[in-house]
Amino acid sequence: MVKIGVLALQGAVSEHLNHIEKSGAEAINVKNPEQLDDLDGLILPGGESTTMRKLMLKYGFLEPIRTFAKKGKALFGTCAGMIILAKDIEGDLEEEESLGLMDVKVRRNSFGRQVDSFEADLDITGLDAPFPAIFIRAPHILSVSDHVDIVSTWEDRIVAVRQGNILATSFHPELTDDYRMIGLFIDMARKAHVPADS
């Protein structure tokens, strides 16, 4: 069975675990880097990206996740997770390094304060009907390099991207009852999966 981990340092972890299980994959709560060895895919959840970066550094996750990506395993960053995946974070003043795996520039909190959270129906490449996307103090992508595919936009802003084995969304697919986004990601991870008996 395809195994998908959720980085469980901070943020919306249980909702992702639930989505993975409901979609027929095995869900793993990831608290230490050694657990990555067993996984086909890893989700970096939404939450607070500055805090998450500090915790990733403290618990030694940055290099192991970069190696995980280099091996061709699948990664999915939602909201704060998208920020952490970006190579360029606009106006970034943090001293801690970030993951920097996607060739994109991101702007944090670009849709307003917590109270301005909203839902929008998005057209998404690979899905045949609009997806009900929930945005919470969400980032958006300002620019992408040539090898990044734009998967969705909302009001002319880029809100979902894919670069090879890495997917990122500004919104929180795990907060809906719609399992199509996690389904897309499980398909990406399945391609990275090596059956135990091979």
Residues 131-190 that bind ligand GLN (CB under 6 A): 136-137
Question: Shortest approach of ligand GLN to residue 131 CB, angstroms?
Answer: 17
Residue 42 interacts with ligand GLN (CB under 6 A): yes or no? no
Burial of 104: CB neighbours in 10 Å, binned 0-12, 13-18, 19+: buried
Residue 83 interacts with ligand GLN (CB under 6 A): yes or no? yes
Pairing of strands 140-144, 102-107: antiparallel
Question: Of 47, 64, 77, 173, which one interacts with ligand GLN (CB under 6 A)?
Answer: 47
**In contact, 74 and 166? CB cutoff 8 Å:** yes
Number of residues that bind ligand GLN (CB under 6 A): 11
48 among annotated binding-site residues: yes
Residue 53 interacts with ligand GLN (CB under 6 A): yes or no? no
- Helices 49-58 and 62-70 pack at an angle, to 10 degrees, of 90
CB atoms within 10 A of CB 180: 15
Task: Look up 172 and say whether it is catalytic.
Answer: yes
Task: Look up 79 and say whether it is catalytic.
Answer: yes
Question: Shortest approach of ligand GLN to residue 98 CB, angstroms?
Answer: 11
Question: Shortest approach of ligand GLN to residue 198 CB, angstroms?
Answer: 37
Backbone angles phi, psi at 181, to 5 degrees: -70, -45
47 among annotated binding-site residues: yes
Backbone angles phi, psi at 48, to 5 degrees: -125, 115
Question: Of 19, 73, 107, 108, which one interacts with ligand GLN (CB under 6 A)?
Answer: 108
Q: Which residues are catalytic?
A: 79, 172, 174
